[in-house]
Structure 1
């Protein structure tokens, strides 16, 4: 086998880089050299990294793109903009990253690039490129929305389970959640005495109070279950908590799902896929960006419930625990994902590797 240099490129957000880690680790096991090119918080991966934009801050770039388009911003915040905001937002991000990305290619000389859809500038570098989908949206439309016409990828890796998103072309690969092998705190490894529900919000900083956590806290007193609030907002965490609610600063969420009954969360693609992988039902809040889309897909598959934040209360949480069809559908999708090829099995089929 000939060893290759593989450059993996992600937008500078944790949720964009984490899905690339499994294929990167499998490439290394197969004898290839890998380097992750990204910026800001996405550099916090357990792999060799190259900072292509030192000092990059996502917030100002996002504000500049969003505030100039108030009508589109309103649609984006409600989750109804679809891919219309991708170009203004991630197009601007890619323009910021492109000079450093060119430098990385010039200095490191990769044989192939693997990039996620919203780091599509990587497809313009003159290096054979593989598109690695990392969400419930199909990758090619996101690439086009981000940078326009680019040379087609030499291969596409698709990770979303077909029963949730429909059939897709490309190389199917199991979505292996980040942190699945991380250790849990001792108190979470104890067998639960009753149902355990995780409550999680986005890794992206959100303005305003954490209403999701506050609504769960208010509902918890009337539900026979234990609730674990992962990184709730400061105001929510400072409330007087019922005996069945526990707050934790951080958990390896994917690992925690394997010892939990259900999860209530913000609708990010990584959390959705991790819950499907774990085979637990999920209560997904319709929200900004792709979160409404993700919530509706989960609900349509029957593996969870899609709700608006203000609808979170005892009734819908009780249904999350009592509706056997939700748990059954979640287990079906988990089995479907387990049958998809592991990244170790996909690597030999990647061109140029």
Structure 2
């Protein structure tokens, strides 16, 4: 069986799909990933990667969209409420450059199944073109709702030109990775899959070791330093100076100079796998990214979500962190020494984290779900003997 994986930037979304792709590969199936930006890091996962939108930048696409339509910036920052479709203009703009390659791969590589992360509904287009099932991996607590309907409406002219005018807006199956007790909804959108931490490989002289003081890692994720700089860390760094603890700034490739002279107990580190670093930590401060939030639970580490209202994280994982009781949530500029002290001292947070960690360990691993997902192709083929036969490419 051939399985096409589809992702949009940033690279963290590729890392989120990688364990499931490995599981398919280990089970003897062929896999291929479509992505763009940081394709070398994507290839470092061990997957074969097609650069589906060479020369494009997700940050640049959104900046251009918001410059042309400034009213969208305010909508992007609003709480989603019951209208997740307000995200559709940004999602459509990010997906448009991927459409032609998605259709071409459906015609030439002929996948039997398409797996896409929630913000990459061009995977639905590839699946429709190939006549095969699509599986969505949710990013957090955003419900798909009418997002895909509106995205496909906004992309209708592009899809008509590519010869794929009719694309179902719902996948055959959705995978939830936020544990059940953390979802602030009465019912999940699909099947649960255990989170497996992966943030890329790294060459290290030695493994991270615990220090002689409590250690806190601070991260902005893989995209925000390039989009908004390091300003979101200023309050956290200033507050950290007042604590008897070690603070590590996981900045990736970003230079720390914009933060000025750092306090003696704060130091930047290069790209370090979170699954190795977090078990040595007493806490983590992050932007609300799904990978960091779930990796913290996996490691049994309390977390502080320091929200930037410009970032989608306050709409995806912060509600789950609050419902699960596994951390604190505040605005990035409101972080104080007392906030950080509470992160390190609150036993209720630590107890809740341990409970959700135990719950997470009971969920099916990616490898356990491969037979379920493979069965979708059998069911589709039985229902439609012509399924999996892509139409001739239009010219």
Match of 1:262 in 2: 283
* Residues 12 and 71 of structure 1, relative CA distance in 2, 3 Å threshold: same
Q: Which 5+ residue runs of structure 1 have no aligned equivalent?
A: none
Match of 1:89 in 2: 90
Q: Indicate whether 1:36 and 2:37 are aligned.
A: no
Q: Indicate whether 1:352 and 2:377 are aligned.
A: yes
Match of 1:203 in 2: 222
SS in 2 for 1:99: helix
* Residues 299 and 169 of structure 1, relative CA distance in 2, 3 Å threshold: closer
Q: Deviations over 1:295-340 (max 9, x none)?
A: 2331232111111111111110001011111111111111111111
Segment drifting more, 168-177 vs 212-221: 212-221
Q: Which 5+ residue runs of structure 2 have no aligned equivalent?
A: 154-166, 379-395
Give the drift of 1:122.
2.0
Match of 1:116 in 2: 117
Match of 1:136 in 2: 141
* Residues 239 and 95 of structure 1, relative CA distance in 2, 3 Å threshold: closer
Match of 1:292 in 2: 314
Match of 1:19 in 2: 16
* Residues 63 and 190 of structure 1, relative CA distance in 2, 3 Å threshold: closer
SS in 1 for 2:371: helix
Match of 1:72 in 2: 72
**Aligned equivalents of 2:228 and 2:174: distance in 1?**
38
- Give the paired residue count: 349
Contact 2:15 2:199 in 1 (8 A): no
Q: Indicate whether 1:280 and 2:304 are aligned.
A: no
> Of 179, 188, 193, which residue of structure 2 is paired with 1:161?
179
Q: TM-score, normalised by structure 1?
A: 0.90
Q: TM-score, normalised by structure 2?
A: 0.81
* Residues 65 and 107 of structure 1, relative CA distance in 2, 3 Å threshold: same
Alignment of 1:178-257 (within 5 A): 178-179=198-199, 186=206, 189-204=208-223, 205-207=225-227, 209-231=229-251, 234=255, 236=257, 239-257=260-278
Match of 2:49 in 1: 49
Contact 1:19 1:178 in 2 (8 A): yes
Give the drift of 1:74.
2.4
Contact 2:39 2:49 in 1 (8 A): no
**Aligned equivalents of 1:75 and 1:324: distance in 2?**
37
Give the drift of 1:290.
2.6
Give the drift of 1:79.
5.7
**Aligned equivalents of 2:69 and 2:258: distance in 1?**
34
**Aligned equivalents of 2:88 and 2:242: distance in 1?**
45
Give the drift of 1:97.
1.0
**Aligned equivalents of 1:140 and 1:43: distance in 2?**
33
Root-mean-square deviation (Å): 2.5
Match of 1:307 in 2: 330
**Aligned equivalents of 2:203 and 2:357: distance in 1?**
22
Contact 2:85 2:147 in 1 (8 A): no
Give the drift of 1:153.
2.4
Give the drift of 1:108.
0.8
